[in-house]
Structure 1
Amino acid sequence: MQINNLKDMYIAELQELVSMEGQLAGALKRMAAAASHPSLKEAFMLHQEETLVQRQRLESILQKHDASAAAHIDQSMQALIQETKKMLAMLKGDELRDAGLIASVQKLQHYEIAAYGSAAALAGQLDLRDDQKILHESLEEEKETDVLLTKLAKSEVNQQAVAA
């Protein structure tokens, strides 16, 4: 896709977000299966459901702008997910794997937070207030998931990994 103006850049950012959410939904399902801590499994499954809703929101925005949702594959998300797989293969024991899963998913979350923040800022610059509101909603959900994972790591999972 040739990017000639800020609107084109905005559409490209949305397409990347669609790709990110699609990749993440599959990865979260696999991570939930790999997690042993019940609260962590639940957090991953809830975020996977939320991720699918976020993707639908993005597809709706793109449709409103007559743009394809399948135009791009986000290679950064692909690489982060691959790094997660590599790390999980190295971690021994359920407790350590759970701590590693949280650390890995938080890296993915931070990437999403940056991407949603950028897309929302572009929507604001383009005076697309409805889009901006929707993107901020997803941005806040990503931040809430990050906070939840931090609390879970500090209160339970990491302590169990230290004790193992």
Structure 2
Amino acid sequence: MYLAELQELVSTEAQLAESLLQMAEVASHPALKEALVRHREQTEVQKERLVSLLQKHGADPTAHTDQAMQALIGETGKMVTMLKGNDLRDAGLIASAQRLEHYEIAAYGTAAALAGQLNLRDDQQTLHTSLEEEKQTDLLLTQLAKREINPHAVAA
């Protein structure tokens, strides 16, 4: 189960990296665009951490495709086409990005808990590092939404 969770997380990060790039391309607010690009870079690092953990345990990093992430990304694509105007689209991008972040936070929390139960303390620490990065990204998106993006979207 633990290895399957890690494999799902690799798929999640791979899918997210591509989606973040697409989201950054349609974002209009410079700070949002920058946050999405920066998170994409962080996502690549997180994926490599997961690949290393799986290789350490002799498991194939490409064995699973996370269908929940596929669905969430699909919903993001629908939202982008539905919302007209830069301010509304940026607010929608943040909402979608946070849904993706919350899914990752849950997945990393689960994997870290399993690593702890298996007494894999190094794995657990690695997963906690990624978990904290995801929480920080979520906080950054919340601050960006409250301070800059959402007030403009409401006015639109």
Q: Same fold (TM over 0.5)?
A: yes
Whether 1:44 aligns to 2:36 is yes
Q: CA deviation at 1:18?
A: 0.0
Rounded Cα–Cα distance in structure 2 between residues aligned with 1:162 and 1:76 = 30
Unaligned 5+ runs, structure 1? 1-8
Query: Out of 33, 58, 81, which is 2:50 matched to?
Result: 58
Cα RMSD over matched residues?
Answer: 0.3
> Which residue number in structure 1 is paired with residue 64 of structure 2?
72
Q: Secondary structure at the match of 1:66?
A: coil
* Count of equivalent residues: 156
> Which residue number in structure 2 is paired with residue 4 of structure 1?
none
Superposed CA offset, 1:104-138 (max 9, x none): 00000000000000000000000000000000000
Whether 1:16 aligns to 2:38 is no
> Which residue number in structure 2 is paired with residue 106 of structure 1?
98
Superposed CA offset, 1:48-100 (max 9, x none): 00000000000000000000000000000000000000111100000000000
Query: Out of 10, 13, 19, which is 1:27 matched to?
Result: 19
The amino acid across from 2:36 in the alignment is: F
Unaligned 5+ runs, structure 2? none
The amino acid across from 2:39 in the alignment is: H
Whether 1:162 aligns to 2:116 is no
- Give % identity: 70
Rounded Cα–Cα distance in structure 1 between residues aligned with 2:64 and 2:154 = 41
> Which residue number in structure 2 is paired with residue 3 of structure 1?
none
Rounded Cα–Cα distance in structure 1 between residues aligned with 2:57 and 2:48 = 14
Rounded Cα–Cα distance in structure 2 between residues aligned with 1:87 and 1:159 = 19
> Which residue number in structure 2 is paired with residue 87 of structure 1?
79
Rounded Cα–Cα distance in structure 2 between residues aligned with 1:86 and 1:162 = 20
**Could you state the TM-score of these two structures normalised by the residue count of structure 1?**
0.95
